[in-house]
Structure 1
Amino acid sequence: MNRALDLRCFHCGEALPADPVKVRIGDQDRLVCCTGCGAAANWIRDAGLADYYTLRQADGARVDIAPGDYSAWDRGDVQAGHAVATPEGREITVVVEGMRCAACAWLIDHALRREPGVCDVGANAVTGRVRIGWNPAATPLSTVLSRLAALGYRPHLAQGEAAERERRRERNRLIARLGVAALGATQAMMFAEALYLDTANEMAPATRDFFRWITFLVSTPVVFFSGWPFLTGMVAELRHRRPGMDTLVATSVLLAYFASLVETLRGGAHVWYDAAVMFVLFLLAARFLERMARRQASAQLDTLARAQPALAWRETIAGREQVPVTALAAGDVVQVAAGDTVPADGELLDRAAAMDESLLTGESVPVPKAAGDLLYAGSTCRESAARLRVTRTGSDTRLSQLTRAVEQAQAQRPRLARFADAVAMRFVVALFIAAGLVFWAWWQVEPARAFEIALAVLVVSCPCALSLAVPAALATSHGALAKRGVLALGADALETLAQADTVVLDKTGTLTLGRPRLVRAEAVGDGDVVELQRIAAALEANAGHPLAAAFADGAVPVASHVVAAPGQGVSGVVDGRAWRL
C-alpha cells in the first residue's frame, strides 16, 4: 500500500490521529480517523456496498461522531412547502453535503433503499440533491435522514418543492428532447443510407419515395420538438434585431427540412433530412452538456442555502418554543445555542458573544459582538449562547441579499461573453451573405447543386463552440470557486482577477483548512495524559469553540454545568469534579 495513504483516513482522507481506529474492509485492515468514519465504513461493509470504495473518485466526507437530531423534520410545519403527497406517501428533495462523485450517489441510492418504508430514492451527484420518497406510516423522515448523515452526507432543506419541481421539469424536458433527437436521427440516417447507396439510380421511384416519406415522418418531431429551443431562440434574436447562433442553426435546419419536403413532393434528385436532424442532435447534445455545467455551478449556491437553519427557538410568555424559521417575525426574541446558526438578522441582547461570520465575510476568526450589535443570519454562534431580537427575516436578511448578489453575478453577461456574442452576431451576418454569394455563384455554373452547397456553407461554418464554450467555461469557473468557498459578486470578477499579479492576505487563518486537530498532548506533573484528554473532550463536546473539534473523540463522559466564557475558556463538572480548561 502507498505509504502516503497509510497516513490518511481510509474513509474521508483526513490526517490520522496518533491512535487511529482500525476497520476491516474486504481482506485488509484499514485505518480511519475517528469512530464516526469507522462506523460508516463498517456499515457500508456489512451492507454489501464495499464496492463504493473501489468506484469512488474522491474521498468521502468526515462523519460526525455525535449523531444529528433530525426529529424536528417529522413536523408538518417544517415539511410544509418542501414535501409533497404521493400515492405511496410523501416525497421531499434535500441538499446534502459531501456528495462528490457518482459513487456517492450510488451509495446513497442503495443505502436508503434498504431503510424500511422508503419507496423511492434519486441522488444526483451533479446538483448535490437527493429526492426521497417514503411512507410516513412505516417510518419517519428523521430515521431516513439519520442514516444519510451516518454515512457522512448531512442533509439540508432545499429551496422549496415548487422550485425543485420546476428544476426537474426543465431537466426532464431537455432529456426528452435529446432522446427524441437521438432516436429520430439514427432512424433518419438509416433510411438516408439506403438512398445514398443507390449510386446507379436503379431504385424504383415508388421505393425511393417510400424511404423519403418515412424519413420525413421521423425527422418532423426532431425538427419541431427537439429543435424547438433553437426555433424560439431565433424568434427572440430577430425580435431584438441581434441575430446569433440560434438564428443560424434554426435557419439551416428549416432550410434543409423544407427544401427536402419540396424535393420529396416534386420527386427531385436529393433530400437533406439527415443533415437537418443530425445538426439538431449534435447541437442539442452540446447545449445539454453546457446546461449541466451551468447547473452544477449554480448548485454550489446551496452552500448559502445550507446556512439557513430549518428551526429556531423563540421565547414566549410560557418559556420557549421551537418553530420553523419561516414563522419568525420582526420583534421576536430568539435563543441561539453555542454552535448553532443564527436564523435571522437581529440585535444582540444581554451579554457579549462571538460569531463566526466566515460564510458572509470570509473572516476565519470569530468576531466579538457586544450587546446591541447586529447579528446576521448564516453566522454561527461560538463559545456561549446568545439571545437576539429579530429585525429582518426571509429575503430581507443579509444572507439572502448575498445569495441574490451571487445569482445575479452568474446571470449577468461578463465582458468576455458579451464580446463573444458581438463576434457571433457579426459572423452570422457575414456567413449569411457568404452563403448567398456561394448560392449565386453556383447557380451560374451548376444550378442543381447551388442549394446544397450553400446549405453546406451554413452548416459547416456554424461557430457553435464560440457560443457554447464561453458560458460553459464561465459557469464551470464559478462552480469551482464556489466549491472552495469563493463567491464572485461581480460579472467581470474572473476577468479582473486574471489581471492581478499580487495577492495580499490580511486575515490569519485564511490559508488554513479551518479544521484544527490535536497533534500532541503532554501532562504537567503526575497527571494521566489519556484521562486529561478524556476530560477535555467532555468539556469541549458542546462548547461551540472553533478549537473544540480538535478534542472530538468517540467515547467521552458527559459534562454538566458547562459554561464557555469568551476569552476565558470553558468550565464544567465531569465525573462529579469541577474542571476548567
Structure 2
Amino acid sequence: MCKSCYHCGEDVPANTDFKVEILGEVREMCCPGCETVAQTIVDSGLVSYYQYRTAPAEKADLVPEQLQALIHYDNEDVQSEFVRNHDNVSEVTLSLEGVSCAACAWLIEKQVSSAKGLVSIRVNTTTNRALLAWDKTQVKLSELLSVIHNLGYKAAPFEADKQEASYHRMMKQYLYRLGIAGLATMQVMMLAVALYLEVFGDLEPEFKNYFRWVSLIFATPVLLYSALPFYLNAWRSIKGRTLGMDVPVSIALIFAYVASLVATVTEQGEVFFESISMFTFFLLVGRFLEMRARRKAAAASGNLLKLIPAIATTLDGEQIPVKTLKIGDRIRVLPGEHIPADGKVISGRIHIDESMLTGESIHVVKKEGDAVYAGTLNGDESFELEVTNSKADSMISNIVRLQDEAQHSKPKIAEVADVVARYFVGVILIISAGTWFYWHQTKPDDAFWIMLSVLVATCPCALSLATPTALTCATSRMGNFGILLRKGHVFETLCKVNHL
C-alpha cells in the first residue's frame, strides 16, 4: 500500500527516503521540497501547525536544487554587478515577490535579522524591494536569500528588466483573478435579486433552492481561485507568528462560504454568496489599483538604470556585455550612443548630453582626462573611454541607491502605522469573538453574521497599505522635480520649515 506524504498528502514514491521528525515521530515525505519545508516549520518552532491544520499543505514549490542555485550569487564576478562593498560590509538591493503588506515586511525583517552576520535589512512594501547589508566574513548572500525563500517569498538582486517582467506576470495573474471575480459577481447578483423576492413570498421553494445551488457554483471559483492571494498572505503571516491584514479577510470569506454552503445543502438559513463574490471583487480592485500606484512610484529609479546600455564596443570593434567590464578596461563609444560605464576620456574632444543627471539641456564639452558618466548621451564624435567604476558604483547606481534609501527609511508615522496595524488585527479578532458571544446571548440567529460584518468592516488596509504607498509616491514625485531624499523623516519636518 502506498504511503502518503505527511506534509502535502500526496503519495510517497517507491525507493525514496525523505523523512522529518515531527511531534516525536519520524514522518515520511514525498520529495526534497516537502522535506525542506517541514524541517523549516519544525526548526522555527511552528510544529503545532501540524496539530491544528485541517488539510494537508500544498506541495512545496522550492526544492533544494533551486535553493542550490542561490549559491551562484556568492560568486564575486556575479556580485560585482549589483553588490556594493564597504570594507567587510556588503550591501545589495533585492527584488521581492509575494510581499503585499506591512506584516509581510515585518515577517521578513524579523526572520532575516536573526541570521548571524546581518547588519541591517529594510523592506519597502511599495516598491517590493529590500535593502540588505551583511558582514561577508560571517554569512553568505545565498544563506540570507534562503531564509527569505523558506518563508515563501522570492528574492533576487534587483534588476530593472527582471522586475519589469515580474510585475507584468503578477498583474496578468491579478487580472485573471479580477475578471473571474467580476463575472461571478454579476451572475450571483442577478440570482440574489431573485432570492430577495422571497421576502414578499413570491418565490417558489424549488426555484429558491435552484438559485442557491447556481449561486454556489459561481461563488466557488471566486473563493478558491480569485481569493487565493488573501489565503497565502494570511498563511505566511500566521507562519511567522504575526497577524496580517489578510487574516480577518480570509476568516470572513471562509466562514461565510461554509455557512452558506450548509444553508444550501440543508435548505435552511440564509446564503451570502453575493457578499462573498462582491467582497472579493472589490478587495481585488483595491489591491490592483494599489499595485499600479506602487509600480508607477517604483518605476522612476528603474527607468534611470535602463539608460545604461547592455552592450559595449571594444577598441577592436567587438560587441561585449556591459556587465563584463572591469575597472581599467578601455572601450570605444560611438556617436549617438549612451555611455555604458563611468570613466574618463582617453582621446577625443566631445560633447555630452548630461540632462538625465543634471536637467541641463546644453551639452557639456569633455576633453582628454575628463570624467563622463554611464547613461549620458554621446554627441557626434566617437571617443575612447577608460572604465573607472563598476556598474554597481556608477553615478546612476548611486542616485538610484539614494532613492531606495529614502524609500526604505521610514518616518515615525510609518513606523507607528506598522506597529498599530500588527496589533490592530489581534484586537479585531478579539472584538469579533466578543461580538459573537454577546449576540449569541441576545439574538443567536444573527450572531454569526454580525461577527462576520465586524471582520469585514475593520480590515486595516489603510494602515498597512496607504501609508507606505503615499510616502513612496511623494518621494518619487520629488525625484521628478530633481530633489533626492536621503531620509524619510523629511516629510514630517518640511511642514515646520518657514525659511529657505
TM-score normalised by structure 2 residue count: 0.59
Deviations 1:266-286 (A, max 9, x none): 332212222222111111111
Deviations 1:209-255 (A, max 9, x none): 32222211111111221111111111122223332321121121112
Question: Does the 8 A contact of 2:315 with 2:331 survive in 1?
Answer: yes
Distance in structure 2 (CA, Å) of the matches to 1:366 and 1:502: 34
Deviates more, 1:186-195 or 1:222-231: 186-195
Partner of 1:461: 458
Pair 1:322–1:444, CA change in 2 (3 A): closer
Q: Is the 8 A contact 1:344 1:393 kept in 2?
A: yes
Report the Cα offset of residue 302 of structure 1.
4.2
Structure 2 residue matching 1:199: 3-state secondary structure: helix
- Could you tell me which residue of structure 2 aligns to residue 264 of structure 1? 264
Give structure 1 stretches of 5+ with no counterpart: 1-157, 504-581
- The reply to whether residue 445 of structure 1 matches residue 463 of structure 2 is no
CA distance in 2, matches of 1:355, 1:167: 34
Output aligned runs, 1:156-175, within 5 Å: 159-160=160-161, 163-175=163-175
1:182 aligns with 2:179: no
Match of residue 242 from structure 1:
242
* Corresponding residue of 2:210: 210
1:131 maps to none
Counterpart of 1:231 in structure 2 is 231
Going by fraction, where is helix more abundant, 1 or 2? 2
CA 1:408–1:191: 2 relative to 1, 3 Å: farther
Kindly state the Cα deviation for residue 351 of structure 1 after the two structures are TM-superposed. 7.4
In structure 2, the partner of 1:435 is: 432
Residues 448-507 of structure 1 deviation map (CA, whole Å, 9 limit, x = unaligned):
11111222222233343343432332343234334334444444454454544444xxxx
Deviations 1:45-69 (A, max 9, x none): xxxxxxxxxxxxxxxxxxxxxxxxx
| 1:236–1:497 CA distance, 2 compared to 1 (3 A) | farther
Q: Who is 2:297 aligned against?
A: 297
For residue 421 of structure 1, what is the amino acid of its counterpart? D
**C-alpha deviation, 1:174, in angstroms:** 0.8
Question: Whole-Å Cα distance in 2 between the matches of residues 181 and 345 of structure 1?
Answer: 50
The answer to whether the 8 A contact 1:349-1:387 is kept is yes
C-alpha change, 1:477 and 1:415, in structure 2 (3 Å) is same
Aligned to 2:421: 424
After TM superposition, give the deviation of residue 374 of structure 1 in Å: 5.0
Rounded Cα–Cα distance in structure 1 between residues aligned with 2:329 and 2:321:
13
- Distance in 2, Cα, partners of 1:281 & 1:428: 22
Aligned 8 A contact 1:308 1:341 in 2: yes
* Corresponding residue pairs, total: 342
Q: Is the 8 A contact 2:197 2:203 kept in 1?
A: no
State how far apart, in whole Å, the 1-side matches of 2:490 and 2:175 are. 33
Shift of 1:344: 0.8
Q: Assess, with a 3 A threshold, how the Cα gap between structure 1 residues 323 and 462 changes in structure 2: closer, same or farther.
A: closer
Aligned to 1:286: 286
Structure 1 counterpart SS, 2:448: helix
* Distance of 2:386 and 2:487 partners within structure 1: 32
Partner Cα distance (2:422, 2:327) in 1: 51
Q: CA deviation at 1:418?
A: 3.1
Deviation (angstroms), 1:357: 5.5
The corresponding residue for 1:571 is none
Q: Aligned partners of 2:410, 2:204: CA distance in 1, in Å?
A: 55
Distance change >3 Å, CA 444–CA 282, structure 1 → 2: same
Contact 1:226–1:280 (8 Å) recurs in 2 = yes
Select which of 480, 485, 496 maps to 1:483: 480
TM-score relative to the length of structure 1: 0.52
Greater gyration radius: 1
Q: Is the contact between residue 259 and residue 271 of structure 1 (CA under 8 Å) also seen in structure 2?
A: yes
What are the Cα deviations for residues 414-439 of structure 1, in whole angstroms up to 9, with x where unaligned? 54333223222333222222222221
Aligned residue number for residue 254 of structure 2: 254
CA distance 1:414–1:255, shift in 2 (3 Å): farther
Q: Aligned runs of 1:83-102 on 2, under 5 Å? A: none
Q: CA deviation at 1:183?
A: 0.9
Distance in 2 (CA, whole Å) between partners of 1:293 and 1:383 is: 39
Q: Over residues 327-358 of structure 1, what are the superposed CA-to-partner deviations in whole Å (9 max), with x where a residue is unaligned?
A: 64444322346775431123443578786656
Sequence identity of aligned pairs in percent? 37
2-structure distance, mates of 1:310, 1:425: 43
Q: Which residue of 2 aligns with 1:196?
A: 196
Cα distance between partner residues in 2 of 1:176 and 1:393: 41
What is the aligned partner in structure 2 of residue 473 from structure 1?
470
CA distance in 2, matches of 1:358, 1:297: 21
* 1:406 and 2:406 correspond: no
Alignment deviations for residues 11-47 of structure 1 (CA, whole Å, 9 cap, x no partner):
xxxxxxxxxxxxxxxxxxxxxxxxxxxxxxxxxxxxx
User: For 2:375, what is the secondary structure of its paired residue?
Assistant: coil
In structure 2, the CA distance between the partners of 1:330 and 1:463, relative to structure 1 (3 Å rule), is: closer
Mapped partners of 1:498, 1:321: distance in 2: 55
Q: Is the 8 A contact 1:178 1:284 kept in 2?
A: yes
CA deviation string 1:110-130 (max 9, x = no partner): xxxxxxxxxxxxxxxxxxxxx
| Residues 1:349 and 2:352 are matched in the alignment | no
1:397 aligns with 394
Could you tell which deviates more after superposition, 425-434 or 180-189? 425-434
1:66 is aligned to: none
Shift of 1:188: 1.7
Shift of 1:295: 1.2
Paired with 1:165 and 1:357, the residues of 2 have a C-alpha distance of 29
Q: Is the 8 A contact 1:301 1:482 kept in 2?
A: no
Q: CA deviation at 1:392?
A: 3.8
Residues of 2 paired with 1:291 and 1:413: CA distance? 20
| SS of the residue 2:387 aligns to | strand
Identify the residue that residue 10 of structure 1 maps to in structure 2: none
Deviations 1:150-171 (CA, angstroms, capped at 9, x unpaired) = xxxxxxxx954x5544332211
- Name the aligned partner's letter for residue 282 of structure 1: F
Q: How has the CA–CA distance of structure 1 residues 445 and 241 changed in structure 2, closer, same or farther, with 3 Å as cutoff?
A: same
Question: In the alignment, what sits opposite 1:334?
Answer: 331
Alignment of 1:116-131 (within 5 A): none
**Structure 2 residue runs without a partner (length 5+):** 1-158
Q: What is residue 109 of structure 2 aligned with on the other side?
A: none
Looking at structure 2, the residues matched to 437 and 323 of structure 1 have their Cα atoms a distance apart, in angstroms, of: 67
Cα distance in 2 between the residues matched to 1:398 and 1:375 = 10
Cα RMSD, aligned residues only: 3.5
1:383 Cα shift?
10
